[in-house]
Amino acid sequence: MIFTADQIAKALNGKVEGDKNTEVQTLSKIEEGIAGSLSFLANPKYTPFIYETKASIVIVNDDFKASKAINCTLIRVKDAYSAFSQLLEMYNQVKMNKTGISKQAAIAETAKIGENVYIGEFVVIGDNAVIADHAKLYPQTYVGENCKIGENTTLFAGVKIYSDCVIGKNCTLHAGAVIGSDGFGFAPQVDKNYKKVAQIGNVIIEDNVEIGANTTIDRATLGSTRIRNGVKLDNLIQVAHNVEIGENTVIAAQTGISGSTKIGKNCMLGGQVGLGGHINIGDDVKIGAQSGIISNIKDGQTILGSPAIDVSNFIRSSIYFKKLPELARKISALEKKLTDN
């Protein structure tokens, strides 16, 4: 789609400086701008690029002052970064505004399909599933029997939702995510083999949740694995059976959460964090990347390491970690001296 500087300025409550009829049809970073593209300048260290960018329109802050001639049209706004983010969201909504049901989709007769939905090629929807208004199911997604998909929720290509799971409103599940696969439950037997324990619960994902590509969330043994409102999960995360993740908690890639662990609200977990089973993580907790958590964590703590400890203690301890080889040599020298005597 093609937009003029004037149209963009009106959408952002901005002011055009230059040709208001300048047209753009794509977005770009300012250092990689091309003719017909729209970019922005928010970080001062990128200021030199505005004098050489090929972008046709650049969004800048109201207080930006040019030190030499600029070839592009400017749109001045209160906050260039926020304004560009707003445009990205508008652009994405236009791009993702798909509707219609493919003839190649397989939809059970007992399934209920809402209005203005998009159901792509080779989507499978099971018995008694409910797909709410404005939901989007991209090609090759699978929604099992008795599942519920909320309004304005998007399942990208290859997402698999096992039976009886519930996905709330305004959620986004990226390609390859698996929701409701069996929890890792096996009972040890006297002959050293393991007998599978049936996993008959489900997964409940509340509203405004985003789940990254190839992330897996296991169904509960009994009851529900529950992801609360506003949670954001990165790619390649494993959430085990009966886990609960509190509101607005964010978790980075490759984190693994063992069964029946409870994570509070407003927490932040770095990449590759490992959490043991049956522990409680309080509210507002921050956990550094690659930390190993084996016990309960109180509200508001910031921890790091494996096993994880308070971050200030970890930093002090790291000074000694670096000196361990030197200390080992001193101890060896003292032992030798004592032996010789």
Catalytic residues: 241
Helices 5-12 and 80-95, packing angle to 10 deg: 110
**Residue pair 41/58 in contact by the 8 Å Cβ criterion:** yes
Say how far apart CA 60 and CA 179 lie, in whole Å. 42
Say how far apart CA 225 and CA 68 lie, in whole Å. 59
* CB crowding 188-197: b at 16 or more within 10 Å, else e: eeeeeeeeee
* CB crowding 85-113: b at 16 or more within 10 Å, else e: eebeeeeeeeeeeeeebeeebebeeebeb
- What is the pairing mode between strands 57-61 and 37-40? parallel
Q: Position of tokens 């049956």?
A: 278
